[in-house]
Structure 1
Amino acid sequence: MEGERAVVEVLSTSDVAAATGYSVQQVRDLEAVGVIAPAVRAGNGYRRFTTAHVRDLRAYRELAHAVGPVEARRVMRELRTVATDEVVAAVFARHARLGHEREEARAARRALLAIRAESAHELEADPDGPADPATMTITELADALGVRTSTLRFWEQEGLLAPERIPTRAGSARRYRTPVIRDARITAALRSAGYPIPEVRAALTSIRDSGDCGAALEALEARLRDITGRMLALLRAGGVLAEIIRHHGLNRAG
């Protein structure tokens, strides 16, 4: 009996705020946008919440940490309105998306570690640098990186790459020497991990100034820690989301 009374316990807006860490106004706002079900209104107009609202807000907090507040709001609304199988599939898709994001960051880290190891080996072999560095055409470099030639031109336009221009009968052609090839590889690695152009530019500047990928690697490690934290938040939200889906989806089908 005591457990049943706890389930139907009536809570004020202030009670819900205290239990979830949100402000009173945030609780009202989240109710207004459909994150939690509308509260019953008492005769005096005051909201009457239940422990289910507290549960839903705690799930939303974890979900917002994992996938962002906009997407979290959409998921919480869908829990009460969309067919159960579709909601479950959507939640699993978000798990998969985080896993893919993590793998991209790990791949970028591997690429940077390889580039740093190669640079150290080259420096050890010839402290003054190679006398005749390797060069590649734009097509060769694009093929090596698995990107379009237009992508390399865009990176050049954004100041990430600075290839040489070799005169030809038709005008000029781009030639990429070893340092620029390295910059292109770093750019490709960071872009594949989701880094925006300004962050890639900052990383390249740091690498050129210091001659090492350490700062970029530290940034990737921080990103991997953030992704892990978001994955854990999604796991924590998962059990509560399953309970909400089960409660609201008993009579819904795909």
Structure 2
Amino acid sequence: MSKLLEVVGLHKSYGTGDARVEVLKGVDLSVEEGETIALIGASGAGKSTLLHIMGTLDRPTSGTVLFGGEEIFRKGDAPLAEFRNRSIGFVFQFHHLLPEFTALENVMMPALIGGARRSDAAEPARELLAEVGLAHRLTHKPGELSGGEQQRVAIARALLLSPRLLLADEPTGNLDIKTSDEVHETLSRIHRKRGITLVIVTHNEILASRMGRTVRLVDGRIEADEPRISPTHPTSNVLPGEK
């Protein structure tokens, strides 16, 4: 595997003077192409902040983030936004679907924002909705979908532009156990089919156990970085049930 993302000496703080809060305190992390990683730790450990910086939604106070060997925070805001839309997909705890649009239109949105014609965006959006098991819900609006269905629409939307990296921040944190399992299986299928690099922030031990690596943050620092042990492949990145 080749290195996709590298974080070096990452610090992030908010505020100034006595009100200054240091959230990340010198984080180093390498992510290989095709890996699946769970970021775990107590609330306030810095997991979501790290994920947001990895996804260029926030800039670090200091340190370096390399994507494909390129130092991405050297880009200005507009080129950075273009890079983010093209190269990184996001799934959050709350789906952030647009309520006035159908499932199909919501999935098409990243392409439309990028200037694509509706006719060009529609077919790949249909294919992705079928891939996440929602071919029969194309014309339904978010309010007509269950929580799990809404989250699967959000996953399809995140994949529309074929990003190299998928970042998920507590993707099942707002769902019940059964629905969480459905979303887990959807992410597993996506990884099997596409080999996409996947980094997930989660408190869900079951989901974390399915990832190829588990990275634990404590008080803004990485305390442990461990591969999932497999009897036949000691550092296997294959999710349960895969061949």
Q: Which has the larger radius of gyration?
A: 1
TM-score where L is the length of structure 1: 0.26
TM-score where L is the length of structure 2: 0.26
Higher helix proportion, which one?
1
Higher strand proportion, which one?
2
